[in-house]
Chains A and B, each alone.
Chain A
Amino acid sequence: DGGITQSPKYLFRKEGQNVTLSCEQNLNHDAMYWYRQDPGQGLRLIYYSQIVNDFQKGDIAEGYSVSREKKESFPLTVTSAQKNPTAFYLCASGTGQPQHFGDGTRLSIL
């Protein structure tokens, strides 16, 4: 089935540690996105990529990094510089609108 797969579903980060969230899509979409969702809030854009080997910062990119080496994959690294990483992270892909979403990764601090 075509779709977006995010892993892991739950992730715990220790102080000073970098963690990487995986996002893979088989929808053949050019554009991919990472969003952060805090409890009771909407989605805030972290990074997006319109094409392989190119990506742009969103509204809250500080403390995060991404890569786009393959069309299918857009991993997000939450670095130790992100002091408040506890949130629900959603990956999406699309060609314009609408976007198609994965089922998210919930990141917590140990």
Chain B
Amino acid sequence: KAGVTQTPRYLIKTRGQQVTLSCSPISGHRSVSWYQQTPGQGLQFLFEYFSETQRNKGNFPGRFSGRQFSNSRSEMNVSTLELGDSALYLCASSKDLTEAFFGQGTRLTVV
């Protein structure tokens, strides 16, 4: 079966712009979470959605937001991009809340 799909794979944006990343979970998985991976901070939890509701949020500024659609697909938005937002953004889905399956990530570069 298909894994977690993230699009686009690579993005280059200018400081001050906004960006939207997309994540399609494994079929049947209703929980989607997002993580930011940087060399300095490692892997950090951004937020989690289940049935279109955000249930948990990490320690990130309000510029980071997300949403989930009725088909469980999720989007993450970052507004007013800063150089420090350059990172690999990972999405993970889960069916039974015991294990997360990760996508290949979106590499965002802010210049």
Check if A and B associate: no
